Amino acid sequence: MRLEPIANPTLTRRVLPPALAIAASFAVAAFLAMIAGGNPFQVFGLIISGAVGSKFAVLETLNRATPLIFTGLAISVAFRAKLWNIGAEAQLYMGAVVTVVLGTGALGLPGWLMLPVLAVLAVIAGGVLLLVPAVLKTRLGVDEVVTTLLFNFIFLLFVSYLLEGPLKDPLGMGWPKSARLVPEARLPRIVDGLRLHWGFGLALIAAVGIWVVDKFTTLGFEMRAVGQNAHAARFAGIPVNPVILKTALLSGGLAALAGFSEVAGLKGSLTLDLSPGYGYTGIVVAMLALLHPLGVVAAALFVAAIFVGADSMSRAAGVPTYLADIMLASALLLTVLAILITKFRVRRD
């Protein structure tokens, strides 16, 4: 078989394949739910009502979407420049560690200054953490996929050490858990009485900010040019390596904000289970959003809804919650295939 580019794809051709891809991933999930002894209609009904069926459910979904918007943005910024950052998990924890180290009393700042300072320092630390693999890539040609992946394992062990050693809460009854943040370091709720913190607002602002950078600034243009064709970009006078390093700082910083917002907004302290793989799920979010910053918000809400819905479905119907992960993994694979089909015709010969 052979792929042939289509000059002017029709509207049907551009819309139908991605829609079919999402439908097919639902079909896969329905089939698996049946194997587990569930009724697919009931299972999907429970997922939907669990995700958006009540005020509590909606707030839970928005809260769950917050870190995913940050990691999704981190991945989409990096992937656009073909910097394969699979280490958002480590960068997330870096942001959380900085927040906890400085926000539990070490930094005595007034309330209005505390949160911005913590956020900026978390961003810098997360960016620097990704800068190491990025420099290894630009200087020595070491593939960043493997290095960023391995960094996740190294950094999580480091966090585990911190929580059992220097950062351990003396009042934590022996649990590997950090002390609680001082009140000035907590992100306030958006509306009093509703369990939704300003981390969500910050995530939306970040998405719009990245969209602006992408669309209206030289850096945005350079990042896209490097991603599309590094040789051509270099030939056109774009400083490719510095652009990759700037992309790394931006991407790592965004992922670190996920950790900052989870600790300062939701949890108030750091434990080893702060992130159930938000760094990896960010890849799915970014791909479903076709790497578009505003699309990331929509994709993160979709993915968060599936996860929150699957949790409550699992409690009610007894179908394992891993159904959500399978659905998203198949959605990821089928969507990239669908996007290809919108642009190419498959010829047999």
Partner 1 sequence: MDIVEILFSASFWAAAIRIASPLIFATMGELICERAGVLNLGIEGIMVAGAFAGWIAVWAGLPLWGGVAIAMIAGMGFGALHGVLSVLFGLSQHVVGVGITLLATSLTFYTYRVALPEVSTPPKIEAFKVLEIPLLSDIPIIGQALFAQTPLTYLAFGLTGVLAWTLYRTPLGLAVRAVGESPASVAVQGLSVAAIRMGAVIFGSGLMAVGGAFLTMSAFDSFFFDMVNGRGWICIALVVFGAWRPGKALLGAILFAAFDAFQIRLQQTGIGVHVPYQIFLMMPYILSILALVLMSRRAEVPAALMVPFNKGER
Nearer to partner 1, 192 or 349 (CB): 349
Distance from CA of residue 104 to its chain's centroid?
A: 26
Closest CA relative to residue 207, chosen from 331, 320, 74: 74
Is 270:163 a contact under the CB 8 Å cutoff?
yes
Say how far apart CA 37 and CA 154 lie, in whole Å. 40
8-42: b (≥16 Cβ within 10 Å) or e: ebeeeeeeebbeebbebbbebbbebbeeeebebee
Contacts for 146 with CB less than 8 Å, ≥ 6 apart = none
Smallest distance from partner 1 to CB 41, Å: 19
Smallest distance from partner 1 to CB 85, Å: 10
Q: Which residue intervals of 217-274 are DSSP H helices?
A: 218-228, 230-235, 240-261
Structure tokens belonging to residue 325: 């992960």
Nearer to partner 1, 48 or 145 (CB): 145
3-state helix, strand, coil in the chain (%, to 5): 75, 5, 25
Smallest distance from partner 1 to CB 83, Å: 11
Please report, as ranges, the residues that interact with partner 1 according to CB under 8 A: 1-3, 32, 35-36, 84, 86, 136, 140-143, 145-147, 149-151, 153-154, 157-158, 160-161, 164-165, 280, 283-284, 287, 318, 320, 322-323, 325-326, 328-330, 332-333, 336-337, 340, 349
In the chain, what's the furthest Cα-to-Cα distance? 71
Nearer to partner 1, 184 or 325 (CB): 325
Nearer to partner 1, 105 or 276 (CB): 276
Smallest distance from partner 1 to CB 157, Å: 4
Smallest distance from partner 1 to CB 164, Å: 7
Nearer to partner 1, 62 or 287 (CB): 287
Smallest distance from partner 1 to CB 114, Å: 30
Nearer to partner 1, 263 or 328 (CB): 328
